[in-house]
Amino acid sequence: METELDCDVLVIGGGVVGLTTAVVLAERGVRVRLWTRDPVGRTTSAVAGALWWPYRIEPEASVRAWALRSLEVYGELAARPGTTGVRMVEGVLGETAPDEVGAWAAARLPGLRGATAEEYPAGSGVWARLPLIDMSAHLPWLRERFLAAGGAVETRTVADWAEARAPVVVNCAGLGARELVPDPAVRPVRGQLVVVENPGIRTWMVSTGADGAMAYFFPQPGRLVLGGTAEEDAWSLEPDPAVAEAIVRRCAALRPEIADARVLGHRVGLRPARHTVRLERAPLPDGRLLVHNYGHGGAGVTVAWGCAEEAAGLTAGWT
């Protein structure tokens, strides 16, 4: 027989959304335990290129609020990049004009302007200074911040809500919510990346070619991350050599020096996509509280803090 857990809230999911939610709750004085199927270095979040920008995520109005709150937090964390993994880095959003960036974001992004032809020869683009997060540093930092606030982490897979014997359960299971809830609306969007030695590139770039194929590169400490793909309903975690070659080729078309960069590794992640983020209360049959916080697609990093604070607010009165 399952026994009650020694906590007020159990957070399920150890990616960026789950960890951030756990941090917010613990720092509010709540006794929190986090269950994660994978260690931080093997979560989907660990694979993310991690540029702050809403990508494949709805609903629009809520996303704006969540993203702006997260932008505010990342701006503060960027004061300690070596510790938090967060830096403010300039770069180009291709195929975008300044007037296509909503006023909601433009007002909070000083220095936003049209890219010059030298900065983006491929066409129109926007030059912006955005948070770029090194997930290999940020995820462990979140975990340690959570532990320092009194939280506890356990590596454990959950198959049924009955196992989660806490007064409040917060579901940040990402793609795992497809089976756990169950929610067939959660679908994988496969992303493949190539990691290369950085040939001296200090700015990021995101571009979409005439054929709709993405190309982006993000300078992270000690490496350059190249992308990418967005394959819907693809489950394979094995890197495809042909896809990797195409990624390098597309990125080299933007910055020729990338063509000769030594490949350091390959990454594949499955974005937990859904037609809309599910962030709401859903009481369990036995009267306990369940709060869902999943379906962030490729924008988990972008909205993590805003969603975490809203999810924590939904536990009010129960903790």
Q: What is the domain extent for residue 153?
A: 1-85+134-186+275-319
Extract the annotated binding site: 44-45, 158, 216, 271, 297-302
Answer yes or no: is pLDDT of 3 > 70.
no
pTM: 0.96
DSSP secondary structure string for all residues of the chain: -----SSSEEEE--SHHHHHHHHHHHTTT--EEEEESS-GGGSGGGG---B-S--S---HHHHHHHHHHHHHHHHHHTTSHHHH-EEEEEEEEET--GGGS-HHHHTTSTT-EEPPTTT-TTS-EEEEEEEEE-HHHHHHHHHHHHHHTT-EEEE-----GGG--SSEEEE--GGGHHHHTT-TT-EEEEEEEEEE---S--SEEEEE-TTS-EEEEEEETTEEEEE---EET----SPPHHHHHHHHHHHHHHSGGGGGPPEEEEEEEEEEE-SS-EEEE---TTS-EEEEEE--GGGHHHHHHHHHHHHHHHTTTT-
Determine, yes or no, domain membership for 41: yes
Residue 1 has pLDDT above 80, yes or no: no
Kindly report the average pLDDT of the chain as a whole number. 95
CA distances from 1 to 54, 243, 287 (A): 43, 49, 18
Condensed to tens digits (0 to 9), the pLDDT of residues 56-81 reads 899 999 999 999 999 999 999 999 99
- Residue 27 in domain: yes
Q: Is residue 122 a contact partner of residue 206, using CB atoms and an 8 Å limit?
A: no
Measured CA to CA, the distance from residue 213 to residue 285 in angstroms comes to 46
Task: Check whether 2 has a pLDDT greater than 60.
Answer: no
**202 in a structural domain:** no
| Number of separate domains in the chain | 1
pLDDT, tens digit, 9 for 90 and up, residues 87-128: 999 999 999 888 888 888 988 998 899 999 999 988 899 999
User: For every residue of 46-57, which 3-state class applies, written as one string?
Assistant: HHCCCECCCCCC
251 within some domain: no
What pLDDT shows up at residue 209? 80
Q: Is residue 218 part of a domain?
A: no
Inside any domain, residue 254: no
CATH of the domain at 61: 3.40.50.720
pLDDT tens digits along 256-308: 999 999 999 999 999 999 999 999 999 999 999 999 999 999 999 999 999 99
Question: Do residues 35 and 154 lie in contact, with contact meaning Cβ atoms separated by under 8 Å?
Answer: yes
Specify if 171 maps to a domain.
yes
Instruction: List the binding residues for FAD.
Output: 44-45, 158, 297-302
Q: How far apart are CA 263 and CA 225, in angstroms?
A: 10
Q: Which residues are annotated binding-site positions for D-dopa? A: 216, 271, 298
Residue 301 lies in a domain: yes
Cβ contact 149:138 at 8 Å: no
